[in-house]
Amino acid sequence: MQFKLIYKPKTQSVSKKTEVLIECYHLRKYKTVCTGVYIEPQFWSDDKCLVTTKHPQHSTINRMLKEKVSELEKACYNFEYSGGIFDFNALKNITSGKDKQSFCDYIADCLKNESDLEVKSIVKYKYNIEIIRGILGTLSTDKLTETHVIKLDAAYRKEYAPSTVARLHIFTEKYIKLAVKSKILRSNPYDLVKLPKFKADSKEVMHTMAELDALEALQKLPYTHAMIRDRYLYSCYTGLRISDNLALLKSAFTDTPEGYVVDLHTIKGYGHDLIHPIGLMFDGRADTIARRWMNAHDEPTLFPAISRTHISSVLLVLAEMAEIDKHMTFHVARHTCASHLADVLQNPFLLMKLMGWADIKTAMGYVHSSPESTKKLLRLVKDDWKEKAR
């Protein structure tokens, strides 16, 4: 039996998606097997029988299609090697209910391509996959609907705490969005479901300046503890995520009369014009930290390399030493920076620029959430009412 990828759009519309099929030829007869992959006609090459490079996810889709063909070829070989004759009946039995990849298997394949994941994260993600598999079973990716999202939500909430439920939904939707980008799933079912939003305890949201002062005041720390303390404080004063903090290069710093200016355009996800004039932010506290570590070691990054696991364990110790009754994570550090900047600046456009956000609505949420923001703005015009209200 011979196998070949084919694509036969039913219409000439360039926006109408059609499924890629596997054509099986045996004794002058043909049968097709579904792949679950839908693409537009403009992205298919009949000559090469593959998705063209014009498609943004062409490499991922082509690899997936080749794997499906390879699975059929292997099944054919194994069947005939065992003494049977691989015909269309055997093909039907093998592909029945299995011609489309399950959502859990799709996530597992995606994980194989995420080479930057730490072992701890891989273990956690595989555990998440098994949770989803226990709820959805072998449901194929292209069959996911809002009904399945509701089913997942109900199962998550029955077994886990609200914070864990929120993380599981983030994990699930991440790979659903990837499936949509890869044209395996036509739309995101999460867009059609309104789920209760998780709200963290207020004590986990941000640090006060007094708490940051307490961290800065810690004395005679071991080298690693001091480095992690400074690394964490740097993110509290600049809003850098942990991945960006770990990747921050010394070469990104330019010394000026007003302190260091940090060019962040090389960091994934930030625009070409994003800079941090850290000498002008938080009274230059981040600038002081940067100068302390700029020549303290020979590595190209500002801070020496260290694992995220070690950082998390040391932050627990630092929180206890500084008597801070809050979870110290880099998400909290970023939120701390945004909250204090919003309170001081009262300028959503400048806040959006400093934090690297793409949507002004995110910055507006921080500005409006500040309890003192209204009072501060009113104090600015306290003595000018008679003159301005004419």
| Comma-separated ranges of CATH 1.10.150.130 domains in the chain | 103-199
Least confident of 103-117, 210-224, 321-335, 369-383: 369-383
The pLDDT of residue 172: 93
The pLDDT of residue 319: 93
Do 50 and 65 contact (CB within 8 A), yes or no?
yes
The pLDDT of residue 361: 84
CATH code assigned to 103-199: 1.10.150.130
The pLDDT of residue 99: 45
Q: Which two tokens stand for residue 102?
A: 């399950």
Give the residue with greater pLDDT, 183 vs 98: 183
- Kindly tell me if the per-residue pLDDT of 261 is higher than 50: yes
Residues 6+ apart with CB under 8 A from 84: 90
The pLDDT of residue 94: 64
Task: Of 134-148, 196-210, 360-374, give the range with the top mean pLDDT.
Answer: 134-148
**67-88 burial: b if 16+ Cβ within 10 Å, else e:** ebbebbeebbeebeeeeeebbe
Tell me: domain 204-378, CATH 1.10.443.10, correct?
Answer: yes
- Kindly tell me if the per-residue pLDDT of 31 is higher than 90: no
Rounded percentage of the chain residues whose pLDDT exceeds 70: 86
Give the residue with greater pLDDT, 162 vs 389: 162
| Comma-separated ranges of CATH 1.10.443.10 domains in the chain | 204-378
- Kindly tell me if the per-residue pLDDT of 129 is higher than 60: yes
- Over residues 294-313, mean pLDDT: 92
pTM: 0.51
Long-range Cβ contacts of 252-261 (<8 Å, 24+ apart):
253/290, 253/294, 253/302, 259/284, 259/287, 260/287, 260/290, 260/291
**218-239 burial: b if 16+ Cβ within 10 Å, else e:** eeebeeebbbbbbbbbbbbbbb
- Over residues 324-342, mean pLDDT: 91
Q: What is the pLDDT of residues 137-176, one digit of tens each?
A: 888 888 899 999 999 999 999 988 888 898 899 999 999 9
The pLDDT of residue 203: 45
- Kindly tell me if the per-residue pLDDT of 67 is higher than 80: yes
Nearest 5°: phi and psi at 205? -80, -55
**Band of pLDDT at residue 297, cut at 50, 70 and 90:** very high
The helix/strand/coil state of 308 is helix
